[in-house]
Structure formats: structure tokens, C-alpha cells
């Protein structure tokens, strides 16, 4: 039973192994990947918790995944949510400790091991602004990894496919955390940007990334989506948060990522 905040009774054992957790997060919904990215950035997660975890539901319910992580000691309770002064049934969770944080970072890095060469070259191309190489390596990564990340389903047919691609690229960028502050879905200018890489050192440039998904059924092309993403960055003034921190416009790289299934175009 659930008792005081910070405690949760584990109802079953030997099922919350790292391999199971990795599979559930990797093949889970885009929202699970986004929430995991937030936890790795030190944020808290607001979610309900299921005290009676049913194994057969683990691949279907986001709540069951976070409940498993809590029961297995990967997450801890920071507080219980309230609504109008009453218990809302929502938990505020965070990663338990530094060891768990490191374990999850290694888990994310392990997802890209089958394409480690392409991954490293993509990161170098991104930082150097080499669009030709970025496109080549990202398409290689997409062809190799998208199916395993999406549990065999087609991401382009999801209700919110941008979140799938968003979470995938965030996973690619985890390796840069020592040199860059990686923020996602933050407020800047007149809206919310997708990803910003803010340099931690004076000699590094900043990067702003916006995602679009092409729908061929409506005549959308990858090229048009890239232009739309870059136009959105400009019109919504997403660079504002970087300007306020003293980073000049000429040191901010803007990228539009357009996806259609496993095909990617970056501009």
C-alpha cells in the first residue's frame, strides 16, 4: 500500500531489471521518451502511480512503466500532488540518485551502439555545420534504429509523430551534456522551441532545432517542411532566450529537421 510520501511498497521482485526497463522505455510512447529526457535533465515527473502493477500491461500503459520504476527503486517520491487542497492522486517523482542517473544515461547511449560510427560522425557534423554529412549520417541512423525505437510500429502514423522524432534526436544529443545545456520545449520569444543547445564554454556556438513531419497524403514535401521549421524559428523569435544570455545571432545555428517515416531532411 502507499504510505507516507517517499515510500512505495514493491509488490513483485526480479522483474525490474535494467534490460526490461530499457526495453520498455525504448519501445514506449514518445511521451515516455520525453519524460525520461526531462528526468535526465534533473526535472521532476508528474504522474499517477498504479500500486498493483500488471506485467501484461507494461507495454501499454505509461503509468505502469513509471510505477515499475518507482517500485524498483529507480525513482523516488518528491511529493504528492494536491488539487483544491485535496490529494489529487498524482505523484511528483525524480531519479533516485546519481547512480541511477548514470545508469539511465548509459542505457540511452547503448541504444545507439549498433550505429556508433554514424552517431559520432553525425554529432561532429552537427557541431561543424556540415549539412551534407548531417543528412547522410542521420538517414543511416534512422534506417538502422527507428524500428527498434518504435516497437515495430510506424511513427509517421502516430497521433503526435513529432514527439517520436523529438525524443529520438534528444537521445542522440545526451552525449553533449558536458559541453552544452540541453533544453527542450522551453519558452522563448513568442512560443516554445523544440531543442536548444546552449554552450557552457565561451568558444562554443549555440544550436536551435525545430522538427516537422511531412504528410505525403496532403502533398507535403520534406523540403517544404524544412523551410517551415526555419521560418517558425525566425517568426517566433526562439533565439530570444539565447540573446538574453549574451549569445550573438551569428553564433546561433538554426536547423530544421523534416521527417517522413525513416527518411530525414535537415536544412
* Beta bridge mates, 173: none
120: cell is 559520432
Q: Please, what is the end-to-end C-alpha distance for the chain in angstroms?
A: 52
Considering its fold, how many domains does the chain have in total? 2
Is 12 a domain residue?
no
Same domain (yes/no): 30, 77: yes
Same domain (yes/no): 67, 91: yes
142: cell is 534512422
Of 106, 125, 141, the domain-final residue = 106
Same domain (yes/no): 101, 215: no
> For the whole prediction, is pTM greater than 0.75?
no
Is 11 a domain residue?
no
What phi, psi does 110 have (nearest 5°)? -65, -25
Provide the 8-state DSSP code for 185. S
Please give the chain's pLDDT, 267 residues, in tens. 344 444 443 333 333 456 677 777 776 666 777 788 788 878 888 888 876 655 555 555 778 788 888 877 888 999 886 666 556 678 899 999 888 888 887 777 776 666 667 778 889 999 999 999 999 988 988 887 776 565 434 443 444 567 778 877 887 887 788 899 988 888 998 999 999 999 999 889 999 999 998 887 888 899 999 999 999 999 999 999 999 999 999 999 999 999 988 889 999
Same domain (yes/no): 119, 193: yes
Residues 6+ apart with CB under 8 A from 231: none
Of 56, 82, 106, the domain-final residue = 106
* 95: nearest Cα among 106, 84, 107, 103: 103
Strands laid side by side in the 195-199 sheet: 180-184, 195-199, 206-213, 252-260, 263-266
Same domain (yes/no): 126, 98: no
Same domain (yes/no): 147, 246: yes
In a 3-state reduction of DSSP, which class is residue 15? coil
By DSSP bridging, strand 206-213 and strand 252-260 are: parallel
Of 91, 106, 121, the domain-final residue = 106
Q: Which domain holds residue 49?
A: 18-106
Same domain (yes/no): 60, 146: no
Is 4 a domain residue?
no
CA triplet 180, 186, 189: central angle to 5 degrees? 105
Same domain (yes/no): 156, 86: no
Amino acid at each position: 500500500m502507499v504510505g507516507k510520501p517517499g515510500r512505495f511498497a514493491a509488490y513483485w521482485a526480479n522483474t525490474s531489471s535494467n534490460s526490461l526497463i530499457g526495453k520498455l522505455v525504448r519501445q514506449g510512447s514518445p511521451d515516455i521518451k520525453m519524460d525520461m529526457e526531462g528526468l535526465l535533465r534533473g526535472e521532476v515527473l508528474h504522474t499517477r502511480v498504479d500500486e498493483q502493477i500488471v506485467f501484461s500491461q507494461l507495454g501499454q500503459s505509461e503509468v505502469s512503466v513509471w510505477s515499475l520504476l518507482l517500485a524498483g527503486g529507480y525513482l523516488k517520491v518528491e511529493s504528492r500532488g494536491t488539487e483544491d487542497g485535496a490529494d489529487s492522486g498524482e505523484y511528483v517523482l525524480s531519479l533516485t540518485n546519481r547512480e541511477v542517473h548514470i545508469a539511465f544515461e548509459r542505457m540511452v547511449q547503448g541504444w545507439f551502439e549498433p550505429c556508433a560510427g554514424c552517431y559520432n560522425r553525425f554529432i561532429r557534423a552537427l557541431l561543424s555545420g556540415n549539412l551534407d554529412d548531417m543528412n547522410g549520417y542521420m538517414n543511416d541512423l534512422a534506417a538502422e534504429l527507428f524500428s527498434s525505437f518504435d516497437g515495430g510500429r510506424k511513427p509517421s502514423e502516430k497521433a503526435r509523430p513529432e514527439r517520436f522524432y523529438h525524443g529520438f534526436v534528444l537521445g542522440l544529443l545526451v552525449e553533449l551534456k558536458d559541453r552544452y545545456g540541453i533544453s527542450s520545449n522551453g519558452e522563448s520569444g513568442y512560443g516554445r522551441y523544440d531543442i536548444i543547445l546552449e554552450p557552457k564554454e565561451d568558444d562554443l556556438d549555440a544550436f536551435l532545432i525545430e522538427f516537422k513531419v511531412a504528410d505525403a497524403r496532403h502533398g507535403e514535401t520534406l523540403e517544404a517542411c524544412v523551410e517551415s521549421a526555419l521560418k517558425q524559428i525566425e517568426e517566433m523569435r526562439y533565439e530570444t532566450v539565447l540573446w538574453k544570455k549574451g549569445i550573438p545571432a551569428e553564433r546561433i545555428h538554426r536547423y530544421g529537421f523534416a521527417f517522413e517515416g525513416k527518411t530525414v531532411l535537415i536544412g
